[in-house]
Amino acid sequence: MTNMLKRQVFNTTSEYLQLPPEEDEPQRIHIGYKLGSIDLTNTIDSIGGEPSSGCMIGTEHAYPEATLSYKGLGTMLYSVQIIRSDKTFEEGATTWPQTKVTATECALQFCVNAYNTVVDNGRLSESVTASWSTLDPASYQPYGISEDEIVYWNNQGRDTFIYAPDYLRTDLEIFIPEDDRANYNISGDRRFGLTQNAIQELGQAFHDHAEWQNHFEYPQTVGTKANREEILYRSENLTATFQSVAESITSFLRDNSNLTQDGLAQEWSIYAQVNWPLLMAPLLTNLLGLLFCALCMLQTRNLKLDPWKTDMIATLAHSLDMKTRDQLRDASLRGSLSKMAGDVNVRFVDGVDGLEMRKAD
């Protein structure tokens, strides 16, 4: 769009304002940049940041025919044309003749998007794979009104999506061409409609700012709000800014729709592979241990004995016989208790006074 800018030089203020020259008017050179119906002009000695020095100017349109790049765009909702100076001028780093000036035109339109949607670990991510804005010419047509009334309101400049129509209309329909339906595996004659109420609700959001040839500038006149103008001027990427606006409107339309889309959902299932040969040895050991415990309990029950478990008092009550204790004491005096204890085997025998441990022969 910058290559469509026209650079103009005026020698006097009257020449710039296209007024009759004044007598003895001082020569004050103006340098301006023109795009369509707007121009950004400053004198060669202008200092950025002053109220009299313009850094940006723009205009808004609701009619495709008023744009430079979007003529014939039947689904256009809103467009802007903007001329901006580089930030170096506002900061006073460059003079006006040295400052880089760029031009941009952006537009919002109704369209149908095809999405590639993926849910991974409960997180939704999607990307636009294709977009269509082919308008069915037979849609969004007025009814209940005469042809003369339609011509009258069109002549009043009311036949746009921005302004609320003064008559009822059928739904706006955008369809996907047959070739694209085959390429993207879309079944059926897919037509997507927008009701007149939905269009009017969106258009009302832009109604206050999209008057025909409505100009805005930055810095703004003292006492006026400059939120919109400053956002546009400070934006590092106007295309990305308008893309964000378009995504917000899209989310609004999708959130307020009760339509759902069937799809295929996949869920992870975790399986553990067991190496049974490797586990046989520890399993066999555990089984033998359980068998030994079961036999011990069975033998204890058959002997009608109370299980001692870790009861040391019960163990002492059935300690070694006197002969074995004397042998251990003698070995302790000789300093060979450990060797003696290692060589002694004892067992429980059923004595006169009950079970006791005796040295095995």
pLDDT tens for 124-183 read: 888 999 999 988 888 888 888 787 877 776 666 555 676 655 678 888 899 998 888 888
The CA distance from 78 to 106, in Å, is 9
Beta-carbon contacts of 35 under 8 Å, excluding residues fewer than 6 positions away, are 1, 4, 5, 6, 68, 81, 83, 103
Indicate the pLDDT class of residue 49, thresholds 50, 70 and 90: low
- So what's the pLDDT on residue 173? 92
Least confident window among 7-16, 109-118, 120-129: 7-16
**What is the CA angle 82-48-88, rounded to 5?**
75
Adjacent-strand bridge partners of 87? none
Rounded alpha-carbon distances, angstroms, from residue 5 to 46, 67, 98, 100: 20, 14, 16, 12
pLDDT at 39 over 80: yes
Indicate the pLDDT class of residue 290, thresholds 50, 70 and 90: very high
Average pLDDT over residues 265-276: 84
- So what's the pLDDT on residue 13? 57
Contact 355, 318 (CB under 8 A): yes
| pTM of the predicted model as reported, rounded to 2 decimal places | 0.64
Higher pLDDT, 38 or 335: 38
pLDDT at 227 over 60: yes
* Cα-to-chain-centroid distance, residue 225: 31
Least confident window among 133-137, 271-275, 288-292, 297-301: 297-301
Residue type (1 letter), 333: L
- So what's the pLDDT on residue 10? 72
Domain boundaries along the sequence of the chain:
2-255, 308-359
Beta-carbon contacts of 21 under 8 Å, excluding residues fewer than 6 positions away, are 12, 14, 15
Beta strands in the chain (DSSP E): 6-10, 30-35, 38-43, 56-61, 76-85, 101-109, 112-120, 123-132, 142-143, 168-169, 172-175, 191-194, 214-218, 346-351, 354-359
- So what's the pLDDT on residue 357? 73
- So what's the pLDDT on residue 240? 92
- So what's the pLDDT on residue 83? 93
Provide the token pair at 63: 């009619």
Indicate the pLDDT class of residue 212, thresholds 50, 70 and 90: very low
Indicate the pLDDT class of residue 251, thresholds 50, 70 and 90: confident
Give per-residue pLDDT as tens, 326-345.
Answer: 777 888 888 887 877 777 77
- Mean pLDDT (the chain) is 80
Bridge-based pairing of strands 56-61 and 214-218 is: antiparallel
Provide the token pair at 197: 């109420």
Rounded alpha-carbon distances, angstroms, from residue 297 to 1, 74, 317, 354: 96, 92, 21, 19
Higher pLDDT, 10 or 130: 130
Exposed e or buried b per residue across 133-150, where buried means at least 16 C-beta atoms within 10 angstroms of its C-beta: eebbeebbebeeeeeeeb
Beta strands in 140-186 (DSSP E): 142-143, 168-169, 172-175
